Every structure is written in C-alpha cells, then in structure tokens.
C-alpha cells in the first residue's frame, strides 16, 4: 500500500472516529453529568497510565524489530504474551498495595472501590495492552486499511450502546450511571480484543512461536523500549497530571468541565497523529535526506491544517457546547481558547517524534519529555491551586508550547534544517493537488512523490 493510501485510510478512520467519538462524548456527558464525567476521567486516565507504566512501551519496539529483520514475528509475539502476563501480576499487586495504604482512589473513584471493579480494571488493562500489541503487528505489516476498518467499527459500537443507554433501552439509575459505563467499557474492550485476534490470524497468518526472542535481543528490546518508556511516562504526566491535581484541589465536578475542554481541544491532533503513525512505518526505510525532506512537508501540512481546524472549531464550540453538553459546561469554552495556544503548535512534535523514532533516536523525545515534565509538573502544582481551571489550562498550554519549540530546535540542529522551515512551504503548497502529490508514495526510483 502506498504512503498516500496509508495516510488516507488512517486519517479517514480517525476523521470518522473523531465524529463518532464526539457524539459519544456528548451522550456520555449527558448521562453522567459533571460529577460523573469527573469520575470517568479519573478512571480512564488511570487505565491509560497503567497500560503505559506496566506496558513498558513495548508497542513502540514491535514495528522497528520486525521491519529491520532483527527478530522473527512469531518469537516477538510469544515474548509479548509472556510479558503481558507478568505485567498483569505487577498491576494486581500494585492495586492491592494502593488499597492497603488507602490510596486506591488514585485509580478507582470512591463508588467503585471493591474487588469486582479491581478485576474489571485489570481486565481492561489486559485487553488494552493486547490490543496495542496486535495493532502494532498489523502496522508493522502495513495493514493500515484493516486497522482503519477495525477502529471505526469499535468506535461506532460503543456509540450504539450509549444511545441505547441514553434512551432507556438499557435500564440504569442516575446514581449508577458511572458503574454501568465502566461495565460497558470492559465488555467492549473484550470484544475489540477478540476481533483483533481474528484480524491477525486472517491477514498475517502468524501465531506464537515455540521460542522467545534470543536473550541478546531481549537486552536490545529493553534498551530500545526503556528510552521510549521513560519518555512516554514523562509525557503522560506532562499532559495528564493536571487531571489529578484539579480533582485534588477542586473536585470531580470541576474536573468534569476541565476534562471536557481538554478532550475537545485535543481533537485537533487527529491529522498530526494520523500522519505520525504512517510516517513511523515508512521513514525507517527511506534515506536520511529523503526522510527529513518529507517530514518537513508533512509537518507543514499538519501545522497549517491544525490551525485552520482550530479557528473553525473555536467558533463552533462557542455555540454548541451549552446546547450539546448543557449550560453547566459553558465555561469549557474559555478553557478551550487557552488550550489551543499550545495544542496548535504541538502538531509539530507529534510529527517529528515519528521521525526521531524511525531513525532509532529515541533519546531526543526522551530528553524533551523529561525537560517538559519538570516544567509542567511545577506549573500544575503552582497554578491550579491558585487559579483553578484557568491555571490548569494555562500550564498545559505552556507545556505543549515548550515541547514544540524544543522539538523544532533539535530537529533543525540534528538534521541541519533551516530554522524557519515551518514557514517556508514550497510554491503552490496549499493547492489540493500539491498536497495530494505529497502523499503519492515512492516512485520507481524509491523517491517519495513531489
């Protein structure tokens, strides 16, 4: 599949998923209200952090090791299964420790702090980790169309279930709304895992091998993953720690409003994320100069498209938030305007990170994440207690902006690129035909489309 088709499928799927996810967020918010949305924000963020922390960023290594021929796919799959089982045990003991010391609320909100929901939490963790591994295998083999179809299906399915819930076909009580959302999330996660297993068996025809990857490669695997892992953990705290701080100082009702503003703002990352996902799979097979030249073009597209979407989105948010979500969420519009200051330029490091990773240079993203982590953490604990939701949005925007500036500076120095390359698009760059040609894919000589 050409680069053009790969990005088209990936972006098309993300566009559809964004629309479906937007409608789903409206319905869930209507069902949960501000308090319930705050509880759900803590729960979903805790799941995401567990997958990141105990998952050790193993997904990032799979395409690299398979595409480079360093390891057999069957041995990698077997190794991943063993690791998932071991990390699940670590998660279980961690939840027990949190419960023992009275800190289970960091992962499970007060209404679901019992053994049944611990098991649900662990079950969602396992399915999330397995889904990430299987998707990485499909990505490594350039099965972007299959990934796109799967992702749309399992974005649409929850919407159907939420609609049934909203219109009373599935009975629930307002007091138990959050609990039933958690149960639905767990069931859908299981269904998505089973579907991905079927996709991998059908399209890749690979299964677990009888052996794990060699010990020497395991060392490389750990080393390769560790840089991405530490960087990803730092990045997570850069952009999610504010949720826990807002909850601690201002409560779950205010967190519900804040999380809505953050979610709507981050919809702008749809195109940059699609470009980054596909670029990571292709850049490693290109020459250094070709990869850099192409990355500049993709970065320009991501930045200017994000800017246009932000202007349109801000206008729509002013009128639609109180209508769709309720007047109690009107304040989210003010926060979105602040978030956009950092969200728009963050399209740049989103794309650049894929180039750094594809070139095997995880140290760049690693150090950037650590630097921004130190800055953002300090700002969250200083600004949020004093200025509330405004302080959280401002701290996040500054963190995004700093990450963008540092990434661009490192990119220019590492690859000897003009500092103003972002603002130097080629002639007729904004013509649709020109942009389509950029996604044309390799020509017979191995060069990407002009």
Report d(CA 324, CA 314) in Å as an integer.
Answer: 15
Which residues in the chain show pLDDT less than 50? 432, 435, 438, 440-446, 448-450
Mark whether 234 and 194 lie in a shared domain: no
Mark whether 342 and 412 lie in a shared domain: yes
Q: CA-based angle 246:231:400, to the nearest 5?
A: 50
Half-sphere exposure of 328 (CA within 13 A, CB side): 12
| 334, 338, 339, 342: CA torsion to nearest 10 | 170
- What's the number of domains the chain is made of? 2
- Domain end (from 213, 237, 253): 213
Q: Flag whether 238 is in a domain.
A: yes
Mark whether 185 and 42 lie in a shared domain: yes
Q: Flag whether 397 is in a domain.
A: yes
Mark whether 302 and 244 lie in a shared domain: yes
Mark whether 74 and 201 lie in a shared domain: yes
What integer pLDDT is reported at residue 360 of this predicted model? 67
Read out DSSP for 102-169? T-GGGTS-GGG-SHHHHHHHHHHHHHHHHHHHHHHHHHHTT-HHHHHHHHHHHHHHHHHHHHHHHTTS
Mark whether 44 and 154 lie in a shared domain: yes
What integer pLDDT is reported at residue 429 of this predicted model? 57
Mark whether 119 and 172 lie in a shared domain: yes
- Domain end (from 213, 238, 255): 213
Which residues have C-beta within 8 Å of that of residue 262, sequence separation ≥ 6? 242, 243, 335, 339, 393, 396
Mark whether 150 and 47 lie in a shared domain: yes
Mark whether 233 and 196 lie in a shared domain: no
What integer pLDDT is reported at residue 229 of this predicted model? 73
Q: Flag whether 147 is in a domain.
A: yes
Q: Flag whether 243 is in a domain.
A: yes
Mark whether 388 and 428 lie in a shared domain: yes
Q: Flag whether 218 is in a domain.
A: no
- Domain end (from 157, 180, 213): 213
Mark whether 353 and 434 lie in a shared domain: yes
Report d(CA 135, CA 62) in Å as an integer.
Answer: 10
What integer pLDDT is reported at residue 307 of this predicted model? 92
Q: Flag whether 337 is in a domain.
A: yes
Domain span at residue 129 reads 1-213
Q: Flag whether 9 is in a domain.
A: yes
Phi, psi (deg, nearest 5) at residue 448 = -80, 155
Q: Flag whether 251 is in a domain.
A: yes
Mark whether 205 and 233 lie in a shared domain: no
Report d(CA 288, CA 276) in Å as an integer.
Answer: 17
For the entire predicted model, the pTM comes to 0.73
Report d(CA 403, CA 373) in Å as an integer.
Answer: 10
Report d(CA 22, CA 29) in Å as an integer.
Answer: 11
| 133, 139, 140, 143: CA torsion to nearest 10 | 130
């Amino acid at each position: 599949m050409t680069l053009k088709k790969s990005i088209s499928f990936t972006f098309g799927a993300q566009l559809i998923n964004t629309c479906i996810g937007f409608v789903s967020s409206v319905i869930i918010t209507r069902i949960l209200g501000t308090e319930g949305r705050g509880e759900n924000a803590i729960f979903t963020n805790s799941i995401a952090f567990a997958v990141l922390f105990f998952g050790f960023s193993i997904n990032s290594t799979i395409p690299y090791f398979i595409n480079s021929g360093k390891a057999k796919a069957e041995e990698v799959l077997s190794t991943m299964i063993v690791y998932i089982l071991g990390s699940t045990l670590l998660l279980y003991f961690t939840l027990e420790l949190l419960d023992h010391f009275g800190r289970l609320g960091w992962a499970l909100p007060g209404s679901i702090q019992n053994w049944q929901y611990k098991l649900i939490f662990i079950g969602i963790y396992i399915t999330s980790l397995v889904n990430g591994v299987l998707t990485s295998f499909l990505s490594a083999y350039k099965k972007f169309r299959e990934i796109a179809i799967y992702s749309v299906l399992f974005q649409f399915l929850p919407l159907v279930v939420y609609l049934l819930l909203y219109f009373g076909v599935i009975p629930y009580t307002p007091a138990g709304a959050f609990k039933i959302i958690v149960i639905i999330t767990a069931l859908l996660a299981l269904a998505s895992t089973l579907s991905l297993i079927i996709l991998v068996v059908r399209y890749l025809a690979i299964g677990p091998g009888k052996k794990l990857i060699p010990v020497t490669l395991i060392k490389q695997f750990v080393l390769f993953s560790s840089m991405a892992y530490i960087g990803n953990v730092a990045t997570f705290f850069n952009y999610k720690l504010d949720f826990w701080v807002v909850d601690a100082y201002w409560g779950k009702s205010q967190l519900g409003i804040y999380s809505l503003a953050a979610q709507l703002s981050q919809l702008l990352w749809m195109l940059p994320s699609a470009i980054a996902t596909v670029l990571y799979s292709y850049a490693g097979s290109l020459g250094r100069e070709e990869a850099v030249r192409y990355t500049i073009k993709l970065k320009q597209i991501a930045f200017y498209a994000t800017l246009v979407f932000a202007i349109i989105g801000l206008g729509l948010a002013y009128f639609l938030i109180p209508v769709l979500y309720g007047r109690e969420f009107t304040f989210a519009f003010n926060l979105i305007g602040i978030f956009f200051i950092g969200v728009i330029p963050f399209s740049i490091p989103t794309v650049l990170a894929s180039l750094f990773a594809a070139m095997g240079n995880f140290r760049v993203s690693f150090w950037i994440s650590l630097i921004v982590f130190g800055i953002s953490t300090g700002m969250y604990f200083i600004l949020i207690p004093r200025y509330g939701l405004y302080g959280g949005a401002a701290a996040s925007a500054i963190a995004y902006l700093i990450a963008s500036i540092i990434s661009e500076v490192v990119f220019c120095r590492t690859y000897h690129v003009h500092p103003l390359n972002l603002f130097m698009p080629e002639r007729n760059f904004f013509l649709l035909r020109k942009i389509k040609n950029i996604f044309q894919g390799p020509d017979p000589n191995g060069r990407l489309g002009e």
